[in-house]
Amino acid sequence: MKITWFGHAAFLVEGVNPAGEAVRIILDPYNYPACGGYLPINEAADIVSISHHNERYHSDLSAIRGDYELIDALDHAGSSLTRKGVEFKVFEVYETDDGEGPNCLVKFELEGVTVAHQGDLGHRVEAGALEFLENTDVLLALAGGPPTIKIPDLADLVEKTRPPLVLPMHYRTPKCNLDLQPVGDFLSACEGYPVETPGSSELIVTRESLPAETTLVVLDHAR
């Protein structure tokens, strides 16, 4: 599969479903120009998954092209659904420690690789959510600190779940004028893990290419 980071929390995952059909999945598309300084996504999709309704940062569909199927994750919290031959599993979390701002972790498998997106998670993850994230191969991780999960809590989550690949997202970049921490703060909190900076917005992942130990891969933003 190929994973492209557009910027903020938005990704494109391209692969082949069990029926041998090509599938393009866009996760949590942001709004241009409201989300920092990232440019419009303007891509076609077969499936668009949104973790919750936040058109500025996580659920703007205006620039997505194609006759796609929409997964509104909050409508499926605690369950699973299949779209275009791909099974998606959903777990409800919140934007705050007080249980405000419901949103969702979304997990799916494509080409034998399990990808999990953290939505807009804003609290320490325990119990059911940790179990949900077990056996994740590629974690799309909220690495910019509050208003999402605190960096030490995210580092603890990585330590407990040990995904082979962690792709930071939702952090401050030169194009993002939001009040977030830079990715270096997350990398420092995860000292001891290998870090790769491929100098690209894209990453090819196969079951065979997954590293034996947790590796942090910092992509460039495509937009």
pLDDT value at residue 172 = 96
Reported as a single tens digit per residue, the pLDDT across 53-86 is 999 999 999 999 999 999 999 999 999 999 999 9
What Cα–Cα distance (Å) separates residue 13 from each residue in 3, 32, 49, 86?
A: 5, 20, 11, 12
| Residue 212 banded pLDDT, cuts 50, 70, 90 | very high
Domains in the chain, CATH or no CATH each: 2-217 (3.60.15.10)
Please say if the pLDDT value at position 163 is more than 90: yes
| Residue 3 banded pLDDT, cuts 50, 70, 90 | very high
Reported as a single tens digit per residue, the pLDDT across 107-118 is 999 999 999 999
Residue among 84, 101, 22 at smallest CA distance from 49 = 84
Mean pLDDT of 120-145: 96
| Residue 122 banded pLDDT, cuts 50, 70, 90 | very high
Burial 137-167 (b: 16+ CB within 10 A, else e): bbbbbbbbbeebbbbebbbbbbeebebbbbb
Q: φ and ψ at 184, to 5 degrees?
A: -60, -30
Mean pLDDT of 97-116: 97
Please say if the pLDDT value at position 177 is more than 90: no
Sheet with 47-50, side-by-side order of all strands: 69-72, 47-50, 22-27, 10-16, 2-7, 202-204
What number of other Cβ atoms are within 10 A of residue 94's Cβ? Answer: 18
DSSP 178: S
Please say if the pLDDT value at position 106 is more than 90: yes
Question: Which residues lie across from 102 on neighbouring strands?
Answer: 94
* pTM (whole model) above 0.85: yes
What average pLDDT does the chain have? 96
Residue among 52, 55, 26, 40 at smallest CA distance from 175 = 40
Mean pLDDT of 139-167: 97
193 and 218 in contact (C-beta within 8 Å)?
no
Joined tokens for residue 188: 């420092």
**Where do the H-state alpha helices sit in 32-179?**
127-133, 151-161
